[in-house]
Amino acid sequence: MRRALGVALGLACAACALFAPAPDDAARLAEWQRKTVSLRQLQFSRPVQLHWTTRAEMPEVLREEAAEDLEPARVAQERDGYAALGALAPDVDLAKETLALYASQVGGLYSARRSTLFVADDMSSAMKSVLLDPIVVHELTHALQDQNFPQILDFVLGLEREDDVARALSGTIEGDASVTMIGALPGASRANSIAIAEQLRDALLAELDKPDSDVGRAPRLLSVGLVFPYAFGTVIAARHFEREGNAGLDAALVDPPLSTLQLLRPATRARIEFVRLGLDSLRASPATAACAVGEDNVAGAVVLRVLFEATHKGVALDSLLDGWRGDRYVKLGCGEKWELVWLTRWSSRESAERFAAAYRALAPGIAARAPLSGPAEVVVRDTSALVVTPGVLTQSDELLRASEVRSYADFKAWVADGCFPEKSCPTRDTRAR
């Protein structure tokens, strides 16, 4: 689901009913494309189709595109992994909640797979028509990204076990489109894009805390995941645009941030560390040989923010996040109980100890909600903090020994090393599967 719905890209409709184009739709689309090209200074290399769809049909648009990722086993594995960390409730209907949240917010969608722009028909109503042009410009900017900088979309849609990287790339993509959209807002100017981007960020973050809003009612991890790319990516993109104009936006698409930390805390210049867990040692150990080992993934700074925002505020939360350098987790199903292995990497032993103390305080509550074998312990070794539940605690030293860590200064360096620990970097072929 993260690949298909994490950004407003790759969304298509194979079975839903669509409105027949109005006679002037071709002219309207041509004008929207002209405006987008003028603002973004990129060219369309292939046609884009326009389809109108009803608000009631929008969930089906999302569902059709995300069909592979909505397979029950896959959704359950994703949910259970986050639940083991403590970031989601173990009984949440993840597919239902995700589709409902995204359908409630979407006004337009660009399908990179079909070169098609889907627009909700109610955006032409008197109340919403003022937003129609900016939303279409935003989505057509995604089309320009797809046609001029395809690699970044290939990565967002093709990465399998790198949710943190995918979220960082989504922030770059949405920030670019949102800054371009500012030029289409009535009375706005991209000369003031930083101020407008900061207002957008503050408004979106405020929406998270409104219990009567669709965003505020959604599970926190999902609502933060929806808001994050727009709230923080747009501010970063606005700064790029202020310094270098569209060339700055182009450069960010070629060499984007490698982690959500770099969007949440843009002053961070540290190398990002990627982890390959020693899963073979778990499979070989008599204690866990019969356990089902799930797919490993990365939590990253955004998930850490969700985990600790209730207990750490302001400077304390920023200080905790600033120390993060990388992580990888996996959930094991061992009969009716789960085990968790989560290897986190930090800038210093002090940072690792700070995280360990904070997570130990959460661990009993997490174990009370999720079917873990018991509250997790955190084993600190130098700059590593290994979170392990009771059933794998005795394997801590072996897990640390068997795991591999590589660090990268930037996105290009990570790609040059084959996107470790992925099997290979995504390509257009992998994203189209």
Q: How many CA atoms lie within 13 A of 142 on its CB side?
A: 30
Confidence of residue 14 (pLDDT cuts 50, 70, 90): very low
Q: Given this model, what pLDDT does residue 6 score?
A: 45
Confidence of residue 62 (pLDDT cuts 50, 70, 90): confident
pLDDT at 35 > cutoff 50: yes
CA distance 331 to 313: 29
What mean pLDDT comes out for the span 170-198?
Answer: 92
Question: Residue 224: what residue type?
Answer: V
Helices (H) and strands (E) in the chain, counts: 20, 10
Q: Give the count of beta carbons closer than 10 Å to the beta carbon of residue 369.
A: 13
Q: Given this model, what pLDDT does residue 386 score?
A: 98
Confidence of residue 20 (pLDDT cuts 50, 70, 90): very low
239-271 confidence digits (pLDDT tens): 999 999 999 999 999 999 999 999 999 888 889
Strand boundaries in 65-158, DSSP class E: 108-111, 116-120
Confidence of residue 129 (pLDDT cuts 50, 70, 90): low
CA distance 126 to 131: 10
Confidence of residue 115 (pLDDT cuts 50, 70, 90): confident
pLDDT at 427 > cutoff 50: yes
CA distance 110 to 146: 10
Lowest-confidence region among 54-68, 164-178, 335-349: 54-68
pLDDT at 30 > cutoff 50: yes
Closest among 390, 366, 394 to 377, alpha carbons compared? 390
Q: Given this model, what pLDDT does residue 430 score?
A: 56
Strand 377-381 and strand 384-388: the pairing is antiparallel
Q: Given this model, what pLDDT does residue 302 score?
A: 96
**pLDDT above 90 covers what percent of the chain?**
70
Q: Given this model, what pLDDT does residue 200 score?
A: 93
368-419 confidence digits (pLDDT tens): 999 999 999 999 999 999 999 999 999 999 999 999 999 999 999 999 999 9
CA distance 376 to 393: 9
CA distance 87 to 220: 8
Lowest-confidence region among 55-64, 150-159, 203-212, 326-335: 55-64
Q: Given this model, what pLDDT does residue 362 score?
A: 98
pTM for the model:
0.91
Helix (H, G, I), strand (E, B) or coil at 51: strand
CA distance 77 to 159: 16
